Amino acid sequence: MQTLKVELANRSYPIHIGRHLLSDASLILPHLKRKHVAIVTNTTVAPLYLDQLSSSLKAEGVTVIQIILPDGEAYKNSETLNIIYDALLQNRCERSTTLIALGGGVIGDLTGYAAATYLRGVPFIQVPTTLLSQVDSSVGGKTGINHPLGKNMIGAFYQPQLVLADIDTLQTLPPREFSAGVAEVIKYGLIRDADFFDWLETNMTSLMQLDEQVLSYAIYHSCQNKADVVAKDEHEQGERALLNLGHTFGHAIENAMGYGVWLHGEAVAAGTVMAADLSQRMGWLSDHDVTRIKSSFEGANLPIKPPSLGVEKYLDLMSLDKKVENGKIRLILQQGIGKSVITSDYDAEKLKETLAV
């Protein structure tokens, strides 16, 4: 098992990465105020992993309440949040009860927000079971739900006590979901860690085969990069926005194609290729580096060709997503591998060339 610490003063917490963590209650016990937990999960993850986690805790004398929600992004809303509050109230959960999120990013975001708001805040623990949630959503303290008028519009910054990333759970993850998580892994290399990107190029085949050592290394270094960014800019006033590389283009793709048609990671992959294309047109990135970026996504079975939506549609959707500065959308672009910048200092005509796919 490897451990890494997210440094946020009195809100610092450890991330444990390794195998067999779900059945090791000793990792959780020191973080409980009282031997009373509510595990929140969904109908897909419950039959796979709920029993393993519950029984290891019960064996240590912990009272376990189970809250099983329907599965899907469509349920990341206030109705589902109320199901959690109802169960907590019916079971007389107190401020000393710890909520445990067992599942992907949807469960993590919902449970984290429930924890931030129930009785004005109760402790919570993340047990992420998708690659995306292990490398991205469980780190950094963003929690929340969707509103009919926008994704992730209601939420809170709220840090967990602990993250347990058990890599064994990834064995049952559908390959497409695994690839979507790899898109965010590649992103960390591109924005700030050229050595990690080099390493990924060498090890992509083993990563896709879920090689234990390679997987642990990739998750550790992804979390480390995200934790470093978050430690410097917890509330996204500056540098944290770099984590959105490929996302402004990607959100336009997700939105235009209909949410869920392209997975988020797939749209981020194609979106990052668009950011690289514009960076290359600006003379900031070499042809060779653009090829390396495309090959890394292809190695993860991710799409590199964006859909042809037309320039105007792309511009419309992209300006919905991001603040406009001097009439131009601020973008995350590349000034080399491992070096991203937040800028509106690009040529608007060249952006149109990139969008004319």
Nearer to ligand NAD, 221 or 251 (CB): 251
Among 18, 103, 160, 189, binds ligand NAD (CB under 6 A): 103
Q: Which residues of 54-65 are buried (b: 16+ CB within 10 A; e: fewer)?
A: bebbeeeebebb
How many positions of this chain bind ligand NAD (CB under 6 A)? 26
Residue among 205, 114, 193, 217 nearest 160 (CA): 114
Which one among 4, 15, 17, 44 touches ligand NAD, defined by CB under 6 A? Answer: 44
Q: Which of 42, 142, 225, 234 is catalytic?
A: 142
How would DSSP label each residue in 259-321? Answer: BTTB-HHHHHHHHHHHHHHHHHHTTSS-HHHHHHHHHHHHHTT---S-----HHHHHHHHHHH
**Cα angle: 106, vertex 83, 31; to 5 degrees:** 65
Query: Is 78 a residue that touches ligand NAD (CB under 6 A)?
Result: no
164 contacts 19 by C-beta, under 8 angstroms: no
Assess 50 for contact with ligand NAD (CB under 6 A).
no
Q: Which residue is nearest to ligand NAD (CB)?
A: 105
User: Is 300 assigned a ligand-binding role in the annotation?
Assistant: no
Is residue 31 part of the annotated active site? The answer reads no
The reply, when asked if residue 72 is annotated as ligand binding, is: yes
- Considering the complex, what minimum distance in angstroms separates the CB of residue 144 from ligand NAD? 7
Torsion-angle region of residue 237: left (phi > 0), alpha (psi -120 to 50) or beta? Answer: alpha
The question of whether 326 is a catalytic residue gets the answer no
Q: Is 166 in the site for ligand NAD (CB under 6 A)?
A: no
Q: What is the DSSP string of 156-175?
A: EE---SEEEEEGGGGGGS-H
Is 51 labelled as part of a ligand binding site?
no
The CB-of-104 to ligand NAD minimum distance in angstroms stands at 2
20 is catalytic: no
Of 192, 264, 294, 330, which is the active-site residue? 264
Residue 120 designated active-site = yes
**Residue 142 annotated in active site:** yes
Task: Please choose, from the candidates 289, 275, 298, the residue with its C-alpha nearest in 3D space to the C-alpha of residue 346.
Answer: 275
Query: Rule CB under 6 A: is residue 268 a binding residue for ligand NAD?
Result: no
Active-site residue numbers?
120, 142, 184, 226, 236, 240, 244, 247, 251, 264
Tell me the binding residues for Zn(2+). 184, 247, 264
